[in-house]
Chains A and B, each alone.
Chain A
């Protein structure tokens, strides 16, 4: 799994957590199923986009700092 997809999946979960936690703290009203689903879908899409991009940046940053090791070439 690439860093981008890893971040996007984490962003989807974080989007759901954000909406449910916002309701617990009184910022969202999730009484009606239509508005609740709307909140969740928007949060999941935004979370996937933001954290997917973040994962991509982190993945590239990690590879820059820790380049893949290449094995030494053998000599006869």
Chain B
């Protein structure tokens, strides 16, 4: 938990303290198709006040914020303690993504600088484990690539045949005995030179 001296904050996700989900293996199981109730609570150091203007949740993927939700403005003045409720849903990402994601909860002052932040992890499941767009696309792409690799020998042989120079035309010739096959596919086929 990062914050200024004496400042204490706590975030609960559907009444569960997010500090219990500080690692990917301890991620909170969530349903992307429903809304999560996120409660921010904070208090300034004893005898002081603090002005928190924005409570923010960011979903992080590849180091970038994939989704950002805010509760702002929260209050117009400095208070000794306060709270904010954010009903979080992934929005358009509901049917696109699943998996483990890092969420950053932060409290910002009116200048926009971060007073406190906490990272935690959520694990979202799609119906039947795969019914989100990205897993379906990835499974289809993987299947296609496996098919291409499985046919790589045939494709390479066909392309090698296309690249070979055409043999010069020759007159009618009687069928000859089949020559023994070799593995050297780089040599051009024997032409019917007179």
Contacts and interface: CB of A to CB of B under 8 A. Distances in A.
A41 interface: no
Nearest to B102: A31
Given A6-B152, A17-B145, A59-B153, A24 B102 contact: no
8 contacts: A17-B142, A24-B134, A26-B98, A58-B152, A59-B156, A67-B181, A71-B190, A75-B176
A31 B63 CA distance: 6
B149 A71 contact: no
Given A10-B152, A75-B176, 17 more contacts: A1-B159, A6-B156, A7-B149, A7-B152, A18-B142, A20-B138, A24-B134, A29-B100, A60-B153, A62-B153, A63-B157, A66-B157, A68-B181, A68-B185, A69-B189, A71-B192, A75-B174
A1 B159 CA distance: 7
B99 A24 contact: yes
Interface of B: 24, 27, 60-64, 97-102, 121, 123, 129, 132, 134-135, 138-139, 141-142, 145-146, 148-150, 152-157, 159-161, 167, 170-171, 173-176, 178-179, 181-183, 185, 189-194
Given A14-B145, A24-B98, A73 B176 contact: yes
Contact of B173 (A6, A61, A74): A74
Interface string A1-17: 11100110011011001
B100 A26 contact: yes
B139 A21 contact: yes
Nearest to A13: B145
B192 A3 contact: no
B139 A63 contact: no
A54 interface: yes
Contacts of A24: 97-99, 132, 134-135, 138
A30 B129 CA distance: 19
Given A67-B182, A72-B173, A72-B175, A20 B193 contact: no
B183 A11 contact: no
A23 B99 contact: yes
Contacts of A26: 27, 98-100, 123
